[in-house]
Amino acid sequence: MKMKLKYFSAPYLVWMIVFILVPLLMIGYFALTTDSGSFTLKHVSDVGQYANIFVRSIWLSLIATAICLVVAYPVAFMLSRMEKHRQGTMLMIVMLPMWMNFLLRTYAWMTLLGNNGIINHLLGTIGLGPVKMINTSGAVVLGMVYNYLPFMILPLYSVMVKIDKSMFEAASDLGCSSAETLWRVVIPLSMPGITSGITMVFVPAISTFIISRMLGGGSNLLIGDLIEMQFLGNAYNPHLGAAISLVLMVIILVIMTVMNQFDPDDQVLM
């Protein structure tokens, strides 16, 4: 009796269909039906009411992603140029905070940013008045940057570490200044890292509801809050919640498609 290898995946295929595909289809089904099960476009068009929440979420997560990219790029570059044996340790030190549960890390910022928090206490001792930090959009962006910065560093590093040192030598031999080397050699070569870093930060940032709740004070709703409110919160309406999720998925699909255009490898993901 001979068994083909491809049958090995049968149990997973069943699992995949039941617990990945069907649930996603159910979001579509819920978004397009009423309680009694008849077809309606009401919920999808109702999402329009919350357009400015979408705009706000996209805007805030774009800012957070941009900051992450700017902050992480030099870090990843320096990491990748370190001696081999130090790289591992350094990488571990950079990634270590990510292993703490993100609720705890966000909670830490709550205590730091409060009106009577530590930062304002320190400012007070040097004679500066209390600064309003918590419950602002800035605090939300800070929370996103803090929580997702490692997601940007890691892909950048893993691409940069493969860039051979001789590339830089060649570039400078050919008369490139260091700025030109950066622009013409390093950035193009690290493009796959940049694109995957951007998606890895942007997607969780746009859909978070914890950060905005803990640092944004509930008056700065994001898409995530809106979805959570429809399923487990103060405005129970799973149909609308499903419709919002559907729109969120479309936004992310668009972002991914655009990102893939900058990716030289013609690989998976649509």
Partner 1 sequence: MKKLGKIYLALVLLFLYVPIFVLIVFSFNESKSSSVFSGFTLDWYKRLFHNRIIISSLVNTMIIAVIASIVSTVLGTFAAIGINSMRKVPRAVVMNVTNMPIINPEIVTGVSLMLLFSFFAARMTLEFGFVTLLIAHITFDVPYVILNVMPKFNQMDPHLYEAAQDLGCSPFKAFRKVVLPEIMPGVVSGFLMAFTYSLDDFVISYFTTGSTSQTLPITIYSMTRRKVSPEINALSTLIFIAVVLVLIVKNGIQNRAFKRSGMGGN
Partner 2 sequence: MMKRRIFTLVSVLALSMGLFSGCAFSDDTEEEEGESQSLTVEDRDYYTRFKGDGISINVYNWGEYISTGADEGTLDVNAEFEKLTGIKVNYTNYATNEELYAKLKGGGTSYDVIIPSDYMISKMIKEDLIQPLDMDNIPNYKYIMDNYRGLAYDPDNRYSVPYTWGTVGIIYNAEQIDTPKEEIDWDILWDEKYKDQILMFDNPRDAFAIAELLLGYSLNTEDPDELKAAAEKLKEQKQYVQAYVMDEVFDKMAAGEALLAPYYAGDALTILEDNEDLDFVIPKSGTNLFVDAMCIPSSAKQKEAAEMYINFMCEPDIAYANIDYICYSTPNSAAYEMLDEEVREDPVSYPDSEFIANKTTVFVNLSDEANDQMKELWTEMKSETANKWFVPIFLVVCVGIIAFVLIRRHLKKKKDIF
By CB under 8 A, what part of segment 161-180 binds partner 1?
Answer: 161
Could you tell which of partner 2, partner 1, none binds residue 102, using a CB distance below 5 to 8 A set by kind?
A: partner 1
- Give the whole-angstrom CA distance, residue 120 versus residue 143: 17
Interaction pattern, residues 237-256, with partner 2; x per rule: CB under 8 A: xx--------x--xx-xx--
Could you tell which of partner 1, partner 2, none binds residue 247, using a CB distance below 5 to 8 A set by kind?
A: partner 2
83-117: b (≥16 Cβ within 10 Å) or e? eeeeeeebbeebeeeeeeebeeebeebeebbbeeb
Q: Does 210 sit near partner 2 (CB under 8 A)?
A: no
Segment interacting with partner 2 (CB under 8 A) among 26-34, 82-90, 167-175, 216-224: 216-224
Residue 183: partners with Cβ closer than 8 Å, 6 or more residues away: none
Minimum CB separation of residue 100 from partner 2 in Å reads 21
Could you tell which of partner 1, partner 2, none binds residue 3, using a CB distance below 5 to 8 A set by kind?
A: partner 1
Task: Tell me the two tokens of residue 203.
Answer: 């997607």
Residue in this structure with the two tokens 């530590």, named with its chain if needed:
118
Among 109, 152, 195, 240, binds partner 1 (CB under 8 A): 109
Could you tell which of partner 2, partner 1, none binds residue 206, using a CB distance below 5 to 8 A set by kind?
A: partner 1
Segment interacting with partner 2 (CB under 8 A) among 6-14, 86-94, 159-167, 227-235: 227-235
Using alpha carbons, select from 15, 265, 214 the residue that is nearest to residue 105. Answer: 214
- Give the whole-angstrom CA distance, residue 226 versus residue 232: 10
